[in-house]
Amino acid sequence: MTVPAQKPQILLMDPIKLATPLLDDLSKVYDVLPLTSKSRDEFLDDCKGKYAGAQAMYRHFKGASTKVTGMFDPVLVAGLPKNLRFIAHNGAGYDQIDVDACTSAMIQVSNVPIAVDGATADTALFLLLGALRQFGPAQAALRAGTFNAGLPLSNDPRGKIFGVLGMGGIGRAFAIRARAIGMEVQYHNRTQLSPELEQGAKYVGFEELLTTSDVVSLNLPLNAKTKHIIGTKEFAVMKKSAVVINTARGAVIDEKALVVALESGEIAGCGLDVYEDEPTVSEGLIKSPKAFLLPHVGTLTVETQDEMERVCLRNIDTGLKTGKFSFTVAEQVGHF
């Protein structure tokens, strides 16, 4: 009697909530295992047992599994199933994963870059307008029953210089929106973009971006080089009328230094969707009328989340069928 070939296994660290038709199709081809572990230690034990055959993994950067596993540091990566070859990480940023450790273990890692661009840029534009126009204090006055009495004049975006630190997909999408409301766009990258990607934006040095921009938007990944890229020294050279927007990762800004800069009047305001110690937000930001805040909702739309799940599942399918992801995170390009 012929024994049926065992289906490749996918470890579903977090549930698929929207792309369920695609998951149903894949479940006909692959064995899909849900995460049942309740702690990091139990997870590592289960990687030697019930998850031992898993070849691919799906996880969400804000999923419940993050509280089970903690960071995917070298210790956790070393304890993953020995057959695991693919981690599809649902999120644009992937600072939760030690990519070097995964590369050494021959595990391919992918994130979700392009699908998040529009929703994140829309959120950033909302933060920009809220901070420049001081809509936070205006809302507070309305709810307090004072309507617009005593509110100071705010500023229009038109004619202001919009500086992008990190002109990737989200940065470019935000630049398009900023240009649409009359702002002049300049940017700083490790390397200058092609004219086609620049779309008329001016390439400037890091120092010039900080000293000349009316709005500074952070749109770069978090890593050892970018952590606290904006801190006390950087705030000191910005215009006192400058507004800082962050929809990237909280820790690219020194949050304590940001609070000091707001309180001292070193900068005029900020618009944030991300924080250094999420979900905790510093009291100084919560209390500041100069801080226009959102609780990391940049990509939390039905359409964006559906496509993010689909990107991950399609990449897992490609990886298991061909032995290679259709794309990996930047650090792994050329390694597989």
Cβ proximity of 299 and 62 under 8 Å:
no
| Phi (first) and psi of residue 271, to 5 degrees | -130, 120
**Strand order across the 108-110 sheet:** 31-34, 9-12, 54-60, 86-90, 108-110
Contacts of 72 (CB under 8 A, 6+ apart): 87, 96, 97, 98, 101, 102
Residues classed as catalytic: 249, 278, 296
Measured over all CA atoms, what is the biggest interatomic distance in the chain, rounded to whole angstroms?
85
